[in-house]
Structure 1
Amino acid sequence: MASRPHRIAPLAVLAAAFIWWSCGEDQEVPVAPGLDDLAPQLSTQSPPAGGGSGAIFTTTPDGGIVNENVRYEGKNEVYLDGGPPPNAPAHAAGLDEGFYVFQITDPPGKLLLSADPARCRIVHVNADGVIDQLMAPTDNSVTDPDGNTVVDYTAATTDNWADSKTNGKFDYSQEPCHQDPNGDGTPGTDPVDVPGFFGLGRHDTNTDVDHGLDKDAIVVQMMPYGTTPNPGGVYKAWMTPIQAYVDVKNADLNQIPSDKNGKVRPHDCPDFCADADVGFVPSNRYTKTDNFKVTEQFPAEITVRKFNDLNGNGMWDADEPEIGVDECVVPSGTDEGDIRACSDPDAGGWPFDYTEPLDGGTKTQTFYTPETFVAGIAGTYTAEEFFLTDWVQSASRLDGTYLDPVQKAVSVDVLAIEPGETHEIVFGNWKFSTKSGMKFNDLNANGVKDADEPGLEGWTIFVDYNDNGSLDEGEPSAVTGSDGTYTITGIEPGTFKVREVLQSGWTCSFPNPGAPDALGVVASTACYHEETFTSGSAKTDNDFGNWTTATKSGKKFHDLNGNGQNDSEPGLEGWTIFVDYNDNASLDEGEPSAATGSDGTYQITGIVPGTWKVREVLQEGWTCSYPSPCYHEETFDSGEAETGNDFGNWFPAVKKGMKFWDQNKNHVNDGEPGVEGWTIELFGTAGDGTVVLMTTTTDVNGNYEFTNVPPGSYTVCEVMLDGWAQFFPTAGANCSQFDNTADHLHIHGAVGYDITLSSQDVDGGNDFGNVPLEGCTPGYWKQDQHFDSWVPTGFSPDDQLVGLFSEAGNEPYASHLADQDSGDPDVLIGNATLLQALRFGGGETVADKAEILLRAAVASVLNAAHPDVAFGYSVTQIVDLVNAALASQDPNQIIDLATELDGANNAVNGCPLN
C-alpha cells in the first residue's frame, strides 16, 4: 500500500464534505438514514461475533495520523477513526459490522464529558470494518429484541438540557446536535450560539484519507464535550455496539447528560461533566477505548522506519529501498515475508509493536512502517519489530546512531519539554537469497547447453563462502533433481563462487569452457560462477555441464500403434543394433553391435570417433517405423555418451468377422447361417497418418478377413444389398455418413464398428446380421384392429402430424383441407393427427401431393420405429427426407419421395405383423 507524508494535515486545507443535522423537533433530517431506519435493526441485532474484533483510534480531521494521543491543541481537532491504520494491509484492525455509540470521558471513565444525548453519537461500521456513516438523530421510538417499545423519544425530549457554565436552560430544539452553529457552512470552527459551548463543533464528518476511496471510510468529530478534569489533559474515547448499550440503558439513547452539581473531588470539572453513562460497560468485550490528550505542550515526534539492507552491511545505503514506501512485504500467512509492490492489497509496511506510557502504565499496539507518533508526555517509548520468514535483522538505529549489538526492540526516552523534539528509530533487515540453475549432460562435449541435452540428477551444487574449492559445513548447497535443476536457498548477501562437487569419471565442460582438444572435446578452465548476492535476490540460469566416457545406447520398441513414436510401448528382445562403419546397410565383421535385452534396450561400447550411421538388422515381416529412414546418423566424440537412439517396428494386423442371416430377428447371432458374397469395407487412418481403404467379401460361410492391416484407427462397415435390412449391430459407428461419397459410391448399413488395431493384432467378432426387408402399408396401420401394433413404436394415433413433420405446419400445407378416404370430414393438414394422415387422399396441387407423401411417410415412420419390422430406413432419415421435400414445394420431388417410401412400405418380405 502507498505511504503518506508524516505530518498533520492542516484543517484549512481539508477538502472534506461536512455533514450535520439539527435535533430540533421542527427540523427535517434528509441527509442520511436515521434511527427511523435503525429501529427495526435494533430489534434483531446481536452483539458482534468473534469477541469484538478491531480497534478504534483518535485521529486528525482528515484521518491522516491515527493514535494522535497528545498532539491536539484544541478539542475540536479530535476525530474518531474506526478501522485499519495507515500502512497496514486493508484487512487489518477492522471492526465488526454494525451500529455503535461513542462517548468522551475522563481517563478512568468515571465522568461523562460528552454533552449531547447518545442518539447524537451513533455511527455505522460497514462490512470492511470502517466507519462509513454518522446516523441522523430522530424523535421516533426504538424496539428491544423482544419486540417491546422501550422509549418514546418525543416524550423523552421534552426535558430541557442545562449548561454548567451559565446554568441557562435551553429547550430541545436548541440542543447542539449535528448542527452548524452560525450557518456559515463550517461546523466546529466558529463560536456556537449557545452560552458555554464556544467553538466546540458539532460532530463534523470528513473522508478518511486512509480508506475513504476504497472502503467509504469517514472520520467523525467527537465534539461537543467538556474539558477533562485530568491534570495532564488526558481524555478517553469509547465506542460500544448499540445493542450492548440499549441492553443496559433500556434503549434510552435520548437521555441528555446532566451537569454534576458542584465539583466532585479530586476530579474538578473545568466546565461540563456528568455522571458516567452506564450504557458503556468497561468490562464488555465489545467496548473499544482509546486515550488522547489535548493540551498546549511541546510533544515530541517519533518516526519508525524500516529498510531493506540489500548488501547486508548493517548500514542504510543510498540505493536501498524503504519498506512501506519503495516496496512492501506480506506480514503474515503462507506468503509471509514476500516482497510485493505496495499496490498489492495483501502487502504493507513492516509490522512492529509500539509501546507508550499511559495512565501510569503502558499501552502496546501493532503498526506498520513507516509510522510517525506523537509523544506528548515524558517517558520511555519502544518500537519492537516483528521477525518475518527468511529475514535476518542487520541494523537498528536510533537518532542516526547504529546500535551495537543490533536490537530487536529499540527504546527512546522522551523529554517533551521544548518544541522540536524528534526521534527516529530505524530497523534494517536482509532476506536470504536463492541460486538456481541446471546440471546438464553435455552429450556432445562441446561446452554448450544444447537443446536436446538432458539434466543430471544427484549432483551437489554449493556456495563456496571461503573459496577453498570444497563444500564445508555451513555453506549452502542443493542436490539436483531428476530433471537436473537445483535451487540453493539461505544465501547471505555478498560476492561468492558457486561450484559443483565433481563426480568420478566426469569432466566439467561448462561454465568457462576451454578450446576443443584433438578429439574435439571441451573441458572447463574454471568450473564455477561468481555472483554478487543482495537481499532477497534470486540468481537464475547458473548452469553446469559435464560429460563422461563414450557409449551408444537406446531401445528397440514395439511400435504397437504404428505412429513412429515410442508411446511408452514395450521393448523387442533379440534384435541386433550395429554401427555401420562402411555404410553398406549390412553388419560386417569388426563393426560394433549389441543385441537388445528383454526390455528392448541396448548399449554399444567401443565406438571409434567419427560420424556413423547406427542401424538395425531387420527381421522378416516387420516394418521399421522409427527412425525414418531407418538409421541414426551420429557424430561420436571421445568420451561422449549418446543415449535415446531408439528403433521402432510394427507387424501387420488381421481383422475378422462374419455376415449372418438373423432369421429370428433377435439382433443376436444364434448360430444362424452365414451369407456369402457380401461386401465389407475397412477404412480409416494408419498410425503414421496414411489413409487406408480395404475391401473384402464374405466366403461361403459368411466369414470375412482383412490381412496386412497397418496399426491404426478404422471403421468397418457393410455395403447394403437391395431387399435386405441391417439387424446387427444395433449400436456403434455411424456408417451412413459414408454413403455415396467419392470413395464409397454405395449405401452402407447404418451401424458399423470403430476399431483400433495394434501391431500383430488378430481381431475378430465384429459380425453383421441382416434380414430381408419388411414393411406394413398405410392400409394396415390405419385399421382399428391394428392399433395395438402402434404401442411398441412409441407413437399414438392421436399424435399431431406437425409434431413429427414440422414442415407440414407451414404454408401451403397447414391450411390445406385434406380429403379423408374413410368418409370422415376433411381436415386441415396443420391440425391432422397421424391416424388422419394415414387416411389422406391426393390430387394435383402441391398440397394434394403432400397428402400422398405424408400418408406414406407416417406408415414408414411406424415401420421404422417398430422393433419387429425389418425396415430400410430409420425414423430420423424419414423425417429429414420428408421435411426437405415439403420445404422444396417441388411436386416432382414430393411424389418421387412418396413413391420411394411406398415401395419400402410394400417390401418384398411383406408385413410381419399380420
Structure 2
Amino acid sequence: MLAKINRQKDFKIYLIAGILVAILIGGLLLSGVASAAPNNSIGGLVWNDQLDADGIQDAGEPGIGGVTVNLYDAVDGVIGNGNDTLEKTVLTSPSGAYLFDSPEISTPNDYYVEFVIPIGSGLAFSPKDAGDDTQDSDANTGTGQTDLISLALNEGVGNIDAGFYTPPTIGDFVWNDLNANGVQDFGESGIGGATVYLYTFDDTLVDTQTTAYNGKYSFSGGAVIAGDYYVQFVTPTDFTPSPKGVGAANVDSDADVGTGKTAVFTVTAGSTKDDIDAGFFQSATLGNFVWDDINGNGLQDGGELGIPGVTVTLYDTTDAEITNMPTNASGYYTFTNLVPNTYYLHFSGPIGYVASPKDQGANDSLDSDIDTTTYKTDNFTLAFGEVQADMDAAFFNPGAIGDFIWSDLDGDGVQDGGSEVGIDGVTLQLYRDVAPIGTLDGSDVALGSPVTTASGGVYDFTDLPAGDYLIDITDTGGVLTSYALTIGSDPQAVTLSAGSDYNNADFGYQEQTASIGDFVWTDLNGDGVQDGGSEAGIDGATLQLY
C-alpha cells in the first residue's frame, strides 16, 4: 500500500518493492505500514489492543502515538549482560508507527527494542508472540523488551510491534460477616491478610493477591486480559464461609461455602468487575460427652465410660433441625462451623437406658444437661468464635427391686400359697445406702416417693442404677399394725447390679390375733387360789413365753 503523508517536510522517500514509503528523518514513520522495511532499519507499530487484548492487530484497533521506544545495541549478542548500549529513543507517531535507521543502525549487528508503558496510562502489554509475526506483539509482558534482533548486512525489519491494552480490574472485598447472613451490613469490617486466587475458566492460575488491612483486593495489570475467570478465596484461620448469593450482587458473598470458588465471569479490556466479594464469620464449636452413668448420680465419676453411637441432634429455637451426628467410640461428639445463634440439643439415648438426673453438682463440665423425660437440653446461645465443650448427657442401664409382702399365716417365713395371700396397701420407701452399712442412718438418701403394694401385695421400684439400697416398710396407712414380721429384715439391704431385676425382696407378716395372760399375785396361804383380800397382784414380774 502507499503510505499517506501527513507532513511535507523532514522526511525521506524510500522506494521499496515498487512502493513509496515516507519516513521522518528523525526516525519516525509518519503513517501507514510498508510491506518491507528499508535497509539497515528496525521499525514497527504500537497499537491499542483494546478489542480483545489477544496480542494480534485486529481491524478497528488503532495505533498509539507518543509511546517511548528505545533501541539497544546488544554488544555481546546477549540481552541484559550489563554492557548493552542505548542507541536511540524515539516516540511513536500519532498513528503508532516508529522507525530506527542509519546512522544508529549499522549492519551486520545485534539489537533489541524496548517499549515503555506511558506513565499514568494504566496500559499493559498484550500477550507476546500470539500469532503471525507480522501481526502480533513482540514485547515481553514484564520488561517491554523484544527478543534479540540479529540484522544481516543491509537487512531491515519492519514488524517489531507492541500491543497495549487497558487491563480489566477484578476485585473487591473480603469481610467479617458478624451476623453470618452473607450480606455486607453496616459496621462489618474487612478482613486483612486473606489469600485470593484468580483463575482462568480452564483452571489456570493467573495471579494471587492478599487482602489489605481493610479487606480490599484487586487483580489488574498485565496478568489480567479480557476473558473468562473465576476467583477462589482461602478461608481465613478460625473463620467459616458465609452463605453464597444472598441479597444484591454488590453486597453479597460470591464464594462457594465448600470450595471458596466463585462462578465464572467475563471481563473485557478496560472494564472493572468490582463486586466479587466473600464473607466469612467466626464460627462456633459445640460438644462434648455421653457416658454410662453406672451409679446414676448424674456426674462423671472415675471408671464410667462413654457410650458410642448415641445420635445428637442440634435444633434452633424454631425446632428446625440444623445437623446431627453420632457419638464416637469414646462417647464424644463435636459440631464445628456453627453459625452463632441460640440452639438446643436432643440425645437419642441408647436402647434400654434411661437418663440420669440433670444438673447435679457445681461443676457444669461434669454433670448431665438433659431433661430426664425429653432428653433435651435447655436453650443455649453460641457466640462468634466460641467453643462450648460442656454439653453432656448421662444415661444408665436401669434395674428394679421388688417383689411381695404376704400374710404368713403359719409364721414359717415361706410363701405357701393357697390362703397365704399378698397384703395390699402397705407403703415402702427406697433409700440409697450411702455408707453402705445395711441400716438406715443420717447419710442415706430417700429416692422418689414411697410405693404401695397392690394387686396382691406386689411392689416394684424401677429405673434404678446399680448401687446399694435399703427398703424401709413405712406402712403409713397402718395396714400392718396387728402384724409381726416373720421373714426378711426391715429395712432390707439390697445390692443391685446394672440392668438387673432383683425380685427377692419379700416380706412375710403374721397377724397377731390370739393372746395369753392374766394375773401374777401373792398367794399368802400357798393354796394356789386367788383368795382376794390381802393376796394382791405383783407388779414388775418378767414372763417368757415358749
Q: TM > 0.5 between the two?
A: no
Higher relative contact order (CA 8 A, sep 6+): 2
TM-score by length of 2: 0.40
Higher-strand-fraction structure: 2
